[in-house]
Structure 1
Amino acid sequence: MLILQRRKGQSLSINNNIKLTIVDTGADWVKLAIDAPKEIPILRTELVEAAAENQEASRTVSREVLDKILKQR
């Protein structure tokens, strides 16, 4: 892991096609502006983790339970 220090208004570049700019900071938060190509997905880590948990949970649900859920729709 690379750790860099930047101040408000400063930027850093990743792979010549992604630019991160520090927009604002607080005591325990940072606001970032991300300039990247549209085809590069940018997701908050908690959403990626939640999606992985949902996929794992869907693998453990029985076929009978899934059929019941679909019939309720």
Structure 2
Amino acid sequence: MLALTRKKGESIVINNNIEISVLEIRGDQIKIGISAPKDVPIYRKEVYLQIQEETKEAMNVEGLEALENLF
């Protein structure tokens, strides 16, 4: 993991086409802005993990149904 220090109004650039900016700092919360191409999905980590889990569960169910149909 790369750890960087940024102040309000400063940014970092990833892969020449994604910019992450510090918009606001209020107490222990930081508001960030992300500029990226529309084809780049951006999720909060808790949402991303939930999507992965639901996909995994759906694949398990579909896989069992496909096996049942074979027999």
TM-score range normalised by the length of the shorter chain: 0.7 to 0.9
* 3-state SS, counterpart of residue 23 of structure 1: strand
Q: CA RMSD in A?
A: 1.7
Q: When the two structures are superposed, what TM-score results if normalisation uses the length of structure 1?
A: 0.73
- TM-superposed CA distance for 1:28, in Å, is 1.8
Structure 1's unaligned 5+ residue stretches are: 64-73
Q: When the two structures are superposed, what TM-score results if normalisation uses the length of structure 2?
A: 0.75
Which runs of structure 1 show a deviation greater than 6 angstroms over 4 or more consecutive aligned residues? Answer: none
Structure 2's unaligned 5+ residue stretches are: 66-71
Q: Distance in 2 between matches of 1:60 and 1:11?
A: 43
Q: Which residue of 2 aligns with 1:28?
A: 28
Q: Which residue of 1 aligns with 2:41?
A: 41
How many percent of aligned residue pairs carry the same amino acid?
A: 37
* 3-state SS, counterpart of residue 34 of structure 2: strand
What amino acid does structure 2 have at the position aligned with 1:24?
A: E
